[in-house]
Structure 1
Amino acid sequence: MVLAEAPLPTRPMKPAHRDGNVLRWLIAHTASLIGDSVYFAALAWSAQRSAGPTEVGLVMAAGAAPRALLMLGGGVLADRLDPRRLLLGSDTVRCLLILAVAGAVALTTPALWLLVAVALVFGAVDALFVPAVGALPPRITTPDQLARITGLRSLSMRLGQIAGPPLGGLAMGLGGPAAAFTAAGLLFALSLPLLLSLRISPLPTPSGEAPAPTAAPRPGRARAELVDGLRYIRRHPLIGPLVAAGAVCELGLTGTLNVGMVLLNAERGWGPSGYGLIISCFGGGAAASAVLLAVAGRLPRAGLTMAGTLLAGSVGAAAMGLVPHLGTAAAVAALVGLAAGVFGSLDATLIQTTADPAYLGRVTSVMMLTMVGLAPLGYPLVGAAIGLWGAGPVFLGCGALSCLGAVLALASPAVRSAELPR
């Protein structure tokens, strides 16, 4: 099958949130994200039926290892090959894999080794999917619309987090894990015709000319391109500090907001309902930031705004470990979500609009590796530290670490002067 690349107009007639081409990509991406959530729910429930709590944790963690190990290689492929082909291929594999598992679960209780194998394959496919998602937006619109696309993508992620678990629970209630796996597979299938219908354009080289076709990378060549991509990030005056700031932010805040928040609620006696309220407020603040960027399309003084919101979010996260009342903690969580959402969207948009198109997949893979590979390593450390010293000091320490990300960003003249395209 030949996927033709039709040139897009130099300036879109409509903003991204009214562009049918962008909306088809957004619906396909949202369907895949909801499918992810349903799949994880079905996988956990299947593991719980056939094994104990320790094995459930093993199954759920199995997919993280190949995702982290192969993510950088997926970035190389996203730069060398058509990112839409990678998206189509990964969603096709996920669809067939999950529908096959649905059939197996319907016939018999799956063995633990089968669930681990499914998680490993799914994680490996995700290592191709994630960099391709980051490399595709510049090929479906123009640079002045990328901030809107980042906001729309953030909204899509929030919708996946909100809609996926209830849909998975409904499917399991009606037909057990087999029905949940089937629902996930059908959601992956829904994205395929939408991705096929996208109009994409070849990315220009820095000189403005279309890049020449390239052959698939050989193993040695792929390794050299990976090293070249890492060197490009390190030497770039803007992208290097942006990636570093994002990595430090993830290391400081991810464990605090995921593991620390549960333990903080237990320490304060707020219970599961309090935890749900705080997480909902955080998600609402993040969703508000996504709407802001999707509609506005551009924020002035983007570099300074990005660093300022990172600093504000870090201070707010540190303060959450000190507030004594649930209502105050929920309000602070909403502000942290708003600040973190603006920071993350501006960070990603500045990278997408600044990076040489030939390196965009590798840059995206490095960014995502921090989120799915490095940041989760801090979960046990955060839990152990709160067990020793309590939530307040740990939240303060993690917030201070995240503030270092803002310091790194503000120390860069390129970041302080960075602007989004008009």
Structure 2
Amino acid sequence: MTATRTAPAEIADRPAHRDGNVLRWLAAYTASMTGDSVYYIALSWAAVQAGSPSQAGVVMAVSALPRALLMLGGGVIADRLGPRRVVIGSDVVRCAAVFAVAGLLYFTTPGLWPLAVLALVFGTVDAVFMPAVGALPARVTSRGQLARVQGMRGLAIRFASVVGGPLGGLGVAVGGEAAAFGLAGLLIAVSVPLLMAVRMRELPADDTAPARGDTAWRDLVGGLAYIRRHRVLAPLMLAIALGDLGFVGPLNVGLALLADERGWGASGIGWVLAGFGVGAGAASLLLTVRGRLPHAGQVAGYAILAGSVAIGALAYAPGVLAAAGVALLVGLLAGLSGTMCGALLQTQADPRYLGRVTAVSGLVSLGLAPLSMPVSAAAIGAWGAGPVFVGSAVVCGLGGVIALGVPGLRRAELPQ
């Protein structure tokens, strides 16, 4: 099932949006991400129905701990075993776990414990799935197409978030939690045969396997040393970390508190989030169509700086429509900087290190950045939304300063 299929060079060098191999990978990724969105809707609803709000919150947070603790090790596994094999195995495990819980909920009323176990399994599997997903594009297309693939991946994420929520709600409404979990498992299952049909590009022998005798620990240390010494990846990781730390708090918990403070209500939050989604989708579409933007490092830096200004301005929007317009600008700039940073990660990293590089980036985004949410909430409660949004904008802007201030990153280009 996990044997590697190789693609000849002439197939791999086609434009990504016309390459059937890339499109199969994209379809598999989209199905898996849509299944994830449905899964989170089903899990949150089932947890609320089975326990108190605080218990439901604990269940939803259970997956975060193993994901953060094991992410770096997951990057080593992805690089040692190969990303395609790891992604297929991860989707099989996630699919089986979701179907098992769906069966339990259909035949019994087991309470919260199977939901907590499912969340724990998902978090553990995500720790290897996410680095492998990040390392896979370099094996399915040529280096010159990786920027376009990053844009296509961004569109898939937007599609999954837009479609997955309504599908999850429909599943709960029609057949309850069991049906919603079953739908999530089915969508994840669709990705498996598609991934099995994806052909992998041949890479040099030293880029496809660790050196004989190397341990997993040596691979991990070697990957971290590789990032630390790299003239582009090292400052890029720091810029991503600062950008995420300044972005996640205001655009998650901060937005809800801002809407409550201004009296916008739930519909106001919806309009602002819609504006952000449209802007981020437009940025992904731009990179998908263009395939490459010149002066990638500078574009990322200026987009981070401009996006930080827009984040600070969001707290002072006079009304819902103005806030939605500012959020659209935030989404466009954040989407542009995010896709450019992702494309630079893909193209600057040696393929044999991509799993570990993606793991470090994922740990920053999924492990460190969420820590800003309770801090942002407490700060808004003490000082109001305006000063906190501005402070977060300053932190985010520092990422842009680093991107423009470090020569290696500022001069970084995407391959033609």
Q: Classify the TM-score, shorter chain.
A: over 0.9
Q: State the shift of 1:82 in Å.
A: 1.4
Q: Deviations over 1:29-59 (max 9, x none)?
A: 0111111111111111111121110100010
Quote the residue 1:191 is aligned against.
Answer: 191
Q: How does 1:45-124 map to 2 (within 5 A)?
A: 45-124=45-124
Q: SS state of the match for residue 237, structure 1? A: coil
What letter is aligned with 2:33? L
Pair 384,79 (structure 1): closer, same or farther in 2 beyond 3 Å: same
Quote the residue 1:388 is aligned against.
Answer: 382
1:373 aligns with 2:403: no
Q: State the shift of 1:9 in Å.
A: 1.4
1:322 aligns with 2:316: yes
Q: How does 1:198-277 map to 2 (within 5 A)?
A: 198-204=198-204, 211=207, 213-214=209-210, 221-277=215-271
Q: State the shift of 1:404 in Å.
A: 0.5
What letter is aligned with 2:115? L
Q: Do 2:304 and 2:337's aligned partners in 1 also have CA atoms closer than 8 Å?
A: yes
Q: State the shift of 1:230 in Å.
A: 1.3
Q: Do 1:147 and 1:349's aligned partners in 2 also have CA atoms closer than 8 Å?
A: yes
Q: Write the distance in 2 (CA, Å) between the matches of 1:37 and 1:372.
A: 16
Quote the residue 1:363 is aligned against.
Answer: 357
Q: State the shift of 1:392 in Å.
A: 0.3
Quote the residue 2:286 is aligned against.
Answer: 292
Gaps of 5+ in 1: none
What letter is aligned with 2:64? A
Pair 381,213 (structure 1): closer, same or farther in 2 beyond 3 Å: closer
In the comparison of the two structures, how many residue pairs are matched? 416
Quote the residue 2:136 is aligned against.
Answer: 136
Q: Do 1:63 and 1:119's aligned partners in 2 also have CA atoms closer than 8 Å?
A: yes
Q: SS state of the match for residue 246, structure 2? A: helix
Q: Deviations over 1:70-126 (max 9, x none)?
A: 111010111111110001100000111111111000011122222111110111011
Q: Deviations over 1:122-173 (max 9, x none)?
A: 1101111100000010111101111110000001111111111110111111
Q: Do 1:301 and 1:417's aligned partners in 2 also have CA atoms closer than 8 Å?
A: yes
Q: Do 1:268 and 1:324's aligned partners in 2 also have CA atoms closer than 8 Å?
A: no
Q: Do 1:8 and 1:141's aligned partners in 2 also have CA atoms closer than 8 Å?
A: no
What letter is aligned with 1:361? G
What letter is aligned with 2:57? G
Q: Write the distance in 1 (CA, Å) between the matches of 2:411 and 2:375.
A: 36
Q: CA RMSD in A?
A: 1.5
Q: Write the distance in 2 (CA, Å) between the matches of 1:216 and 1:343.
A: 38
Q: Do 1:43 and 1:60's aligned partners in 2 also have CA atoms closer than 8 Å?
A: yes
Pair 212,115 (structure 1): closer, same or farther in 2 beyond 3 Å: closer
Q: Deviations over 1:284-324 (max 9, x none)?
A: 00000000000100001111111011111111001111222
Pair 13,67 (structure 1): closer, same or farther in 2 beyond 3 Å: closer
Q: Deviations over 1:355-387 (max 9, x none)?
A: 111211101001011111111111111000000
Q: Write the distance in 1 (CA, Å) between the matches of 2:315 and 2:70.
A: 36
1:310 aligns with 2:304: yes
**Alignment TM-score, normalising by the size of structure 2:** 0.97
1:334 aligns with 2:348: no
Q: Write the distance in 1 (CA, Å) between the matches of 2:213 and 2:22.
A: 29
Q: Deviations over 1:161-215 (max 9, x none)?
A: 11111101111111100000100111111001100000102333xxxx6646558
Quote the residue 1:18 is aligned against.
Answer: 18
What letter is aligned with 1:44? S
Q: Write the distance in 2 (CA, Å) between the matches of 1:335 and 1:294.
A: 19
Quote the residue 1:171 is aligned against.
Answer: 171
Q: Write the distance in 2 (CA, Å) between the matches of 1:109 and 1:158.
A: 34
Q: Write the distance in 2 (CA, Å) between the matches of 1:410 and 1:11.
A: 37
**Alignment TM-score, normalising by the size of structure 1:** 0.96
Q: Do 1:143 and 1:421's aligned partners in 2 also have CA atoms closer than 8 Å?
A: yes
1:44 aligns with 2:38: no
Paired residue for 1:407, among 392, 398, 401? 401
Pair 21,212 (structure 1): closer, same or farther in 2 beyond 3 Å: closer
Q: Do 1:135 and 1:364's aligned partners in 2 also have CA atoms closer than 8 Å?
A: yes
Q: Write the distance in 1 (CA, Å) between the matches of 2:319 and 2:336.
A: 26
Pair 48,145 (structure 1): closer, same or farther in 2 beyond 3 Å: same
Gaps of 5+ in 2: none
Q: SS state of the match for residue 23, structure 2? A: helix
Moved over 3 A (4+): 10-14, 209-218
Seq. identity, %: 54
